[in-house]
Amino acid sequence: MKELATQLRKFESELAQTRELVVVDDPEMAAEARAEEERLVAHIAQLEAELTPLLLPRDPMDDRPAIVEIRAGTGGDEAALFAADLYRMYTRYAEHRHWRIETISHSEGSLGGLKEAVFKVEGDGAFGRLRWESGVHRVQRVPATENQGRIHTSAATVAVLPEAEEVDVKIEDKDLRIDVFRSSGPGGQSVNTTDSAVRITHIPTGIVVSQQDQKSQLQNKLKGMQVLRSRILDARLAEIESARSRMRKTQVGTGDRSAKIRTYNFPQNRVTDHRIGFTSHELAHTLDGDLDELMNALAIATQEEKLDG
């Protein structure tokens, strides 16, 4: 940042001197000065754009690990297939950035689809990069099960939560109802023969977390409490963000998880983020985890909102 500020002061000084030459009587020199003035103004604008985000206070939550939840929405098997695509997209993006992924729960659907996945992403700026992915993601394509070539629209929901520490959210035992039940689905014999699955209800908020992927009841309770704390913290942050965003232009982060945020259109090879008007015609690259251009656009829009607000 210091180097950018030094360059900015240098260009501003040169611009002041150049503007003195614009009004000289020599037409040739004045023309050269005007051309130099345009060049310096462009350089100064670029430096100011680079400096502005650095001057904003960094959100302390940005460096937290992220808890990512993906669920198939409307659209049956096709929605589950799309949820699997999103899961691959985010895990590939994490690999590109050398982040670590820890599976919390994973429920497969038919035809290789995904009913639900919850996983933790750890790495430099994980939550800060992923936080604006929360919302409804919509896909438009011809499903593999469609014989007549008709385009269908399906959806999946994504929620990205900051991992909560115990000091962030204090949960009293009296505020919890914990039920145990027999696990179902794939996982081997031990999963299906003991009451190891856990359902935790946080009575004050009504938030319910079910966990059955681990082999023991204790492990499932620990994983469930991890997700529960993150959901409670996320709900509090969403309320704050919603209040801040009411007057904003693009409202990137309103806390509204039911809002349609992005469309993946296969016939047009197009990805559109509806909050900021971002469009890319590199759909395959996006679904392969090439998300930096989109993430950067969202980050810039967020910074502009903070400056406006």
| pLDDT confidence tier of residue 194, bands split at 50, 70 and 90 | low
Q: Per CATH, which fold does 173-237 belong to?
A: Double Stranded RNA Binding Domain (3.30.160)
Contact 31, 25 (CB under 8 A): no
The span from the CA of 89 to the CA of 259, in Å, is 20
Give, as one character, the DSSP assignment of residue 175: G
The span from the CA of 269 to the CA of 210, in Å, is 37
Which residues lie closer than 8 Å to 277 by C-beta, 6 or more apart? none
Q: Per CATH, which fold does 62-167+247-308 belong to?
A: Alpha-Beta Plaits (3.30.70)
Length of the chain: 309
The more confident residue out of 209 and 166 is 209
Question: Phi/psi at 184 (nearest 5 deg)?
Answer: -130, 160
CA neighbor of 306 nearest in space, from 252, 235, 259 = 252
| pLDDT confidence tier of residue 165, bands split at 50, 70 and 90 | confident
Contact 157, 137 (CB under 8 A): yes
What is residue 55's predicted lDDT score, i.e. its pLDDT?
A: 65
The more confident residue out of 150 and 56 is 150
Mean pLDDT of the chain: 85
Q: Assess whether pLDDT exceeds 50 at residue 286.
A: yes
The span from the CA of 188 to the CA of 184, in Å, is 10
What is residue 224's predicted lDDT score, i.e. its pLDDT?
A: 92
Q: Which two tokens stand for residue 82?
A: 């799309």
What is residue 103's predicted lDDT score, i.e. its pLDDT?
A: 93
What is residue 118's predicted lDDT score, i.e. its pLDDT?
A: 94
Report the predicted TM-score, pTM, of the whole model to 2 decimal places.
Answer: 0.71
Q: Assess whether pLDDT exceeds 90 at residue 119.
A: yes
Q: Which of 141-145, 169-173, 232-236 has the lowest mean pLDDT?
A: 141-145
Dmax of the chain from CA atoms? 95
The span from the CA of 119 to the CA of 216, in Å, is 19
The more confident residue out of 238 and 66 is 66
Q: Which two tokens stand for residue 42?
A: 């462009």
User: Each residue of 38-97: pLDDT tens digit?
Assistant: 999 998 988 877 776 666 667 778 889 999 999 999 888 899 999 999 999 999 999 999
Q: Assess whether pLDDT exceeds 50 at residue 188.
A: no
Strands 135-141 and 260-265: parallel
User: What are the residue ranges spanned by the domains of the chain?
Assistant: 2-55, 62-167+247-308, 173-237
Question: Phi/psi at 48 (nearest 5 deg)?
Answer: -65, -40
What is residue 96's predicted lDDT score, i.e. its pLDDT?
A: 95
